[in-house]
Each structure stands twice: as structure tokens, then as C-alpha cells.
Amino acid sequence: MSYEQARASKNYSSLLYETFNPLKACNVFILQDFSKLKDKAQKQAILNRLKDYFRIRKQLSLHYEIAKILEAQLREYTFYDYGEGYFYQSCRPIHITGFRNTEARIAGMQLEKYVTGKTVLDIGTNAGFLALEVAPLCRIIEGFDSNLYLIQVANCVKSFLKCDNAKFWAGTFEDFNHEPPYEVVLSFTNHSTYDHNTKQSIEDYFQKCHRYVSDGGYLLFESHLPNYESKEQLKCVLECLQKYFAIDTSYVLTRGTQGDKGRTFAVCRKR
Ligand SMILES: C[S@@+](CC[C@H](N)C(=O)[O-])C[C@H]1O[C@@H](n2cnc3c(N)ncnc32)[C@H](O)[C@@H]1O
């Protein structure tokens, strides 16, 4: 008998069809009917599917929660969100693909080397997915963003992941006035923004970064994509940065998605 014939002759229990809907699958009727099922293989299939759902059951309500925030953002947020109503950053622990690959960025920048055991500030943290990914390495990581909806997502995911050393709040860098300074400040594609929410000049931006990096600390810089920031523009940006920081290392990133590759990364020591 061929595999197709075997499948065609198989009389699947209606219970199997019931389990196609993850939200219905875990209810008590399924479990009662399951105990009456005789076919061993079908029982195993259903059991395995329920096990899969059980593993991600907490994520189903998390995803529902963050989908509601994205929906509100779509209705109420009048600025560009960088994620096209979805997500700019990926978050592997909760299966969000995003447009940019958080793991590839972290590996390409060798962030582990710079943030381990440090107090870190992430300017324009977006949904906080990159900050949350490196949080287990850091002593403390704090991030803020002008987009309140993304900060709500960051705080939902932070609670879900039980990431106690991460802190997120909504606000602009222009209004930022925390003390004391941080050992490492992340400036990832934030020295200028396309949403018209950055009001300060590039010079003011790096001067302010300088104020918030502790003596002996680092600013980690990532540029925009070359088609948004030409070689000449990037040269001007880096000239301005170097008034306040000395560049220890700088290279072009080659890992990740089309949105990740081709950006310049620089490790900058406070002058
Ligand atoms: C291009 S995204 C970069 C996000 C993140 N830094 C990353 O690299 O994954 C720019 C982020 O900056 C935020 N933003 C724009 N203007 C800001 C400002 N003045 N202060 C703080 N955040 C700002 C946006 O909401 C957005 O999340």
C-alpha cells in the first residue's frame, strides 16, 4: 500500500481537526474526547500537537497583547514607525522575524565584548528587542524611544522574558536628563531619524552622547544604510563624532538582512 493510499484509507478522528485551532485545542472537551480515542498513532499525533501548543501557550496571549498595541499604533501614531505596522527588530525568543536580524547585528558588532557587566543606555531603543537580547550580559540596560507604543511592546516582552535588569520608558533624547552617566551608550541608526522626531543637530546629538558616556566609557555607533546616508554624509557625521570620541575600530557590517548589511559600525572611546 502506498503512503497516499494509506493516508486516504485512514479514518482520522474528528478530534484531530479540532486541534487545528490552537485556541480551541487546549479546552477540556478535547482532553475528555482524547482519553476515549483508541487509535495509538492518532493519539500520539494529537498529543504531540497539544504539547507544541502547550509550549507556546503563554506566547499566544503575549502575541495577542502586542498585536493590540500595534493596532492602536496604526490608528493613533501619526509618525513613521520603521516597521510598516509590524516590527523593525527581530525577537527570536518570541518568534518575531522583524525587518532587522537582532542576533546577526549583535554577532556582527561583537557586542558581547563591549556590554558584558556594563551599565548600558540604548538611545531610540525601538521595541527594545536588541536591548532585551543583550540584557543577560549587561549589568543594567536602559532604553527609551519617542514611540510610546513600541515602549509598551518593550515592557510587555520584558515582563514575559522576566528581564529584571532592563528598563524602558517613552521619551526623546532631546528631553533626556538622567544621571549618572553610562559605561556604554548605543547609538544605532539614531543620530538622525526620518520620522521628524529628532529636533537636535548632529553636533548637539554627539555632544549629548559625550555627556552620558562615563570617563573611559564607549559610544557604539551604527550608521544608516548607504542608500540613505551617502559616503560623503557619513564622513561628515563621523567627523562630528570624532570631536567627542576617538574611533578605536570601525568596519562595514556584512551579516543579517538587507536592512543590516552595508552599515558602518564604530567603537568610539570618550575623549
Ligand atoms: C531607525 S530606528 C532605530 C531603532 C534602534 N536604535 C535600532 O537600531 O534597532 C530609530 C528609532 O528612534 C526613535 N526616535 C526617533 N526620534 C527620536 C528621539 N528624538 N528620541 C528618541 N527616540 C527617537 C524612533 O521611534 C525609532 O524607534
Tens digits of residue pLDDT in 69-96: 999 999 999 999 999 999 999 999 999 9
Count CB atoms within 10 A of the CB of residue 127. Answer: 33
Name the residue with the closest Cα to ligand 1, atom 1.
Answer: 189
pLDDT of res. 69 = 94
Q: Which residue has the cell 510587555?
A: 156
Nearest atom (ligand 1) to Cα of 173: 20
162: left (phi over 0), alpha (psi -120 to 50) or beta: left
Name the residue with the closest Cα to ligand 1, atom 12.
Answer: 124
Q: In sequence order, what are the beta bridge partners of 188? A: 222
Least reliable range by pLDDT among 33-42, 157-166, 218-227: 33-42
pLDDT of res. 180 = 87
Beta-strand relationship, 182-188 and 140-145: unpaired
8 Å CB contact between 82 and 88: yes
Name the residue with the closest Cα to ligand 1, atom 4.
Answer: 126
Is the peptide bond between 180 and the residue preceding it cis, with omega within 30 degrees of 0? yes
| Percent of the chain surpassing pLDDT 90 | 73
Q: Which residue has the cell 481537526?
A: 17
CA 22 – ligand 1 centroid, Å:
35
* Pocket around ligand 1 at a 6 A CB cut-off: 82, 89, 124, 126, 130, 145-147, 150, 172-174, 188-190, 193, 195, 197-198
First to last CA, the chain: 77
Q: Which three cell numbers stand for residue 25?
A: 485545542
Confidence of residue 42 (pLDDT cuts 50, 70, 90): confident
CA 217 – ligand 1 centroid, Å:
22
Q: Above 60 in pLDDT, residue 1?
A: no
Nearest atom (ligand 1) to Cα of 199: 19
CA 191 – ligand 1 centroid, Å:
9
CA 123 – ligand 1 centroid, Å:
7
Residue/partner pairs of 258-263 with CB below 8 Å, 24 or more apart? 259/99, 259/100, 259/225, 260/100, 260/101, 260/104, 260/105, 260/108, 262/225, 262/226, 263/189, 263/222, 263/223, 263/224, 263/225, 263/226
The larger pLDDT score, comparing residue 186 to residue 39, is at 186
Q: What is the pLDDT of residues 94-143, one digit of tens each?
A: 999 999 999 999 999 999 999 999 999 999 999 999 999 999 999 999 99
Count CB atoms within 10 A of the CB of residue 260. Answer: 20
Q: Above 70 in pLDDT, residue 46?
A: yes
Per-chain mean pLDDT for the chain: 91
Name the residue with the closest Cα to ligand 1, atom 27.
Answer: 126
Count CB atoms within 10 A of the CB of residue 119. Answer: 19
CA-closest candidate to residue 95, choices 121, 130, 56, 122:
56
The larger pLDDT score, comparing residue 26 to residue 43, is at 43
| Percent of the chain surpassing pLDDT 70 | 92
Least reliable range by pLDDT among 21-25, 165-169, 250-254: 21-25
Q: Give the architecture-level CATH label for domain 92-270.
A: 3-Layer(aba) Sandwich (3.40)
Q: What is the pLDDT of residues 158-210, one digit of tens each?
A: 999 999 999 999 999 999 998 889 999 999 999 999 899 999 999 999 999 99
Cα–Cα dist 196/97, whole Å? 26
CA 252 – ligand 1 centroid, Å:
21
Cα–Cα dist 3/220, whole Å? 57
- What pTM does this model have? 0.88
CA 111 – ligand 1 centroid, Å:
19
Confidence of residue 8 (pLDDT cuts 50, 70, 90): low
Q: Above 80 in pLDDT, residue 3?
A: no
CA 134 – ligand 1 centroid, Å:
18
The larger pLDDT score, comparing residue 189 to residue 67, is at 189
Nearest atom (ligand 1) to Cα of 187: 6
Length of the chain, in residues: 271
User: Which residues are CB-contacts of 59 (< 8 A; sequence separation ≥ 6)?
Assistant: 94, 95, 160
Q: Above 90 in pLDDT, residue 26?
A: no
Domain spans in the chain, listed from the N-terminal domain onward: 3-60, 92-270
Helix runs in the chain, H state only: 3-9, 14-18, 22-25, 28-36, 40-76, 102-109, 111-115, 129-134, 148-161, 202-212, 231-241
The larger pLDDT score, comparing residue 74 to residue 47, is at 74
